[in-house]
Amino acid sequence: MTTSSYGPGLPVQKSTPLPAVVAVVSSSRYISTSKSSGSIAITNTTTFGGDSGIEANFFSNLSRSDHKVQVERKSMNWSTYFALRGTRRLYERVFMVPSTLGGLFGGGYWFAQQAFDPTMSIFGMDQVLVYGLGTLGSGLLGLALGPVVGNMIFWAVHANARPLVDKMDREFFQRIVLNRANPTGNPLAHHIPDFYGEKIKSVSDYRSWLRKQREYRRKIMYFL
């Protein structure tokens, strides 16, 4: 306890800084006097407990942590990118099955409801043949729409990752164009291996692709 210089016998309790790394919010009392009336007013203010150095380090670490989180949200490593790329292909392939079956059954049901007259022909062909070809065409249409549907559902599930994946897609194809062998003067006996990098599914596959491109350049250079 100490005696305030603003009035005799008025105890003022000083707050003791807590030796914690985090900032502790405490309430401190301050006494002020009015020269005109001589009255004493006690006000409560909220301050951060601890040394100023601890407070500065805390807010500095907090700022660095926020910046690190923002950087991680704006970046993606290659392993994660290839994993998402493989998942997207899996979605596209899986949805090919129900889409194809839906096209076949839907087309078959629709053609089965049509009037059938064996004495009539369509475009000079028998109706059964035309209906069968129409059903087959419906299945092929479903097969073509399957990857589109799968891709849409993949992006609906991973909507937050789309900007990063699009960014990594552009960077990946830039690397493919930059590092693949020059197709100019390419003999028919030696085709460029994986020209678009479609078989690359991991970082190790990318390194293997780079080695194949170097081997191809060496073969072209020495006419092997």
pLDDT, mean of each 10-residue run, the chain (224 residues): 46 47 40 44 45 54 47 76 95 96 94 80 81 93 96 95 95 95 68 89 96 88 68
On whether both 128 and 197 belong to a single domain, the answer is yes
Q: How many residues does the chain have?
A: 224
On whether both 53 and 84 belong to a single domain, the answer is no
On whether both 54 and 94 belong to a single domain, the answer is no
Q: CA nearest 29: which of 20, 40, 18?
A: 40
- Which residue, of 74, 90, 105, is where some domain finishes? 74
On whether both 42 and 66 belong to a single domain, the answer is yes
State the pLDDT at residue 105: 95
- Which residue, of 74, 98, 115, is where some domain finishes? 74
On whether both 66 and 105 belong to a single domain, the answer is no
Residue 57 CA to residue 37 CA, distance in Å, equals 43
Task: Tell me the residue range of the domain where 90 lies.
Answer: 78-221
On whether both 100 and 70 belong to a single domain, the answer is no
State the pLDDT at residue 152: 96
- Judge whether 31 and 42 are in contact, CB under 8 Å: yes
Residue 136 CA to residue 108 CA, distance in Å, equals 8
Q: How many domains, the chain? A: 2
Residue 91 CA to residue 147 CA, distance in Å, equals 7
State the pLDDT at residue 177: 93
Q: CA nearest 92: which of 139, 152, 137, 165?
A: 152
On whether both 135 and 157 belong to a single domain, the answer is yes
On whether both 32 and 98 belong to a single domain, the answer is no
- Which residue, of 74, 94, 115, is where some domain finishes? 74
- Judge whether 45 and 27 are in contact, CB under 8 Å: yes
Judged on CB neighbours under 10 Å (0-12, 13-18, 19+), 192 is middle
On whether both 25 and 126 belong to a single domain, the answer is no
On whether both 58 and 93 belong to a single domain, the answer is no
Token digits of residue 158 = 């991973």
DSSP string for residues in 94-131: HTHHHHHHHHHHHHHHHHHTS---TT-EETTEEHHHHH
State the pLDDT at residue 191: 79
On whether both 134 and 167 belong to a single domain, the answer is yes
Token digits of residue 124 = 């000079």
State the pLDDT at residue 117: 76
State the pLDDT at residue 125: 79
On whether both 154 and 48 belong to a single domain, the answer is no
